[in-house]
Amino acid sequence: MKNKINFEQTIQLNEQDLLKIIDRQKLPKHIAIIMDGNGRWALKRGLPRSVGHLAGAESLKGIVEICYELKIEVLTVYGFSTENWKRPQQEINYLMNLIIEYLNKEIGELCKKGVRVNSIGTLQELPQSVQDVIANSVERSRDNSGLVLNLALNYGGRLEITNAVRAIAEAVEVGCLKASQVDIQTITDHLYTAGLPDPDLLIRTAGEFRISNFLLWQLAYSEIWFTNVLWPDFRRQHLLSALVDYQQRERRFGGLQ
Ligand code: FPP
């Protein structure tokens, strides 16, 4: 991509044109998404928030598909945060059922495509029915070698780091590890994401400019792409626009060009 192309230009382009611009050799290995704006999407239409979440689950299907087609290694999506328990019980129940429905409906197709389902978060605090369907999807897809669909459920970055620190402190306490041996890799290895590459690209929809306790450690050097598009309106073209923008950035990781 010799000449820079700005966002206004990319949104004029259709999927085929965007695919022509994208350099397949320079795709992010790991894309993380904060799927925001379901509620506002519904509100704008005078519909209950649950309809927004349902439409959000449809958007997710399309985005999983394009990530799989592009051979992205990992897609992490923020499905339910440790703070989302503050929502009305009815909405929480709806979201839990939606996760169950999504996985039950999609797991066959995901397996056919070679997608491996993984999850991060404090799963043991989720309703048993949700835990069961996650365990079943993880098990059914465990040998797949395509895209890793990483579902962040009851996930919070601060809690994840706290748990990692606690596990490391326990290892030091019983003498398995010396405090002086604790380094960046030790912490990385104790996170839910151990073994996965850090996200290269974080996308947040719905015009919010926050990280919201998502992957606090792992996002240290991620490129961030914000859009005003509400998650239920987020389509393959939007992801491709984000990739075009990502490929025009110079990643220096604190060094020089
Ligand atoms: C944020 O929008 C979205 C969520 C808290 C839930 C995301 C869930 C989905 C996209 C459903 C499918 C997910 C899975 C894992 C199957 P919001 O409700 O905060 O929107 P608002 O800011 O407009 O109110």
Kindly report, residue by residue over 173-210, the tens digit of the pLDDT: 999 999 999 999 999 999 999 999 999 999 999 999 99
Nearest atom in ligand 1 to the alpha carbon of residue 230 is 23
26 and 141 in a single domain? The answer is yes
Residues 131-171: pLDDT tens digits?
A: 999 999 999 999 999 999 999 999 999 999 999 999 999 99
226 and 160 in a single domain? The answer is no
Proportion of the chain in helix, strand, coil states, percent, rounded to 5: 50, 15, 40
51 and 144 in a single domain? The answer is yes
177 and 239 in a single domain? The answer is no
Best residue among 34, 36, 100, 210 to mutate for probing ligand 1's pocket (most ligand atoms within 8 Å of CB) is 36
Nearest atom in ligand 1 to the alpha carbon of residue 153 is 15
**Cα angle value 244/249/255 (rounded, 5°):** 155
10 and 74 in a single domain? The answer is yes
Distance between CA atoms of 211 and 99, rounded to whole angstroms?
Answer: 22
Distance between CA atoms of 214 and 234, rounded to whole angstroms?
Answer: 20
- Residue 38 C-alpha to ligand 1 middle, in angstroms? 5
* Residue 109 within any structural domain of the chain: no
Q: Is the dihedral of CA 52, 59, 104, 87 positive or negative?
A: negative
Q: Nearest residue CA, atom 15 of ligand 1?
A: 79
Q: What is the DSSP string of 112-139?
A: HTT-EEEEES-GGGS-HHHHHHHHHHHH
Any idea which residues carry the catalytic annotation?
A: 36, 84
Q: Return the higher-pLDDT residue of 89 and 7.
A: 89
pTM of the model: 0.96
Q: Nearest residue CA, atom 16 of ligand 1?
A: 99
Distance between CA atoms of 14 and 10, rounded to whole angstroms?
Answer: 8
Best residue among 38, 41, 131, 214 to mutate for probing ligand 1's pocket (most ligand atoms within 8 Å of CB) is 38
Domain total for the chain? 2
74 and 162 in a single domain? The answer is no
CATH number at residue 32: 3.40.1180.10
* Residue 115 within any structural domain of the chain: no
Is 21 in contact with 1 (CB distance < 8 Å)?
A: yes
147 and 242 in a single domain? The answer is yes
Domain range for 163 is 156-196
* Residue 212 within any structural domain of the chain: no
* Residue 107 within any structural domain of the chain: no
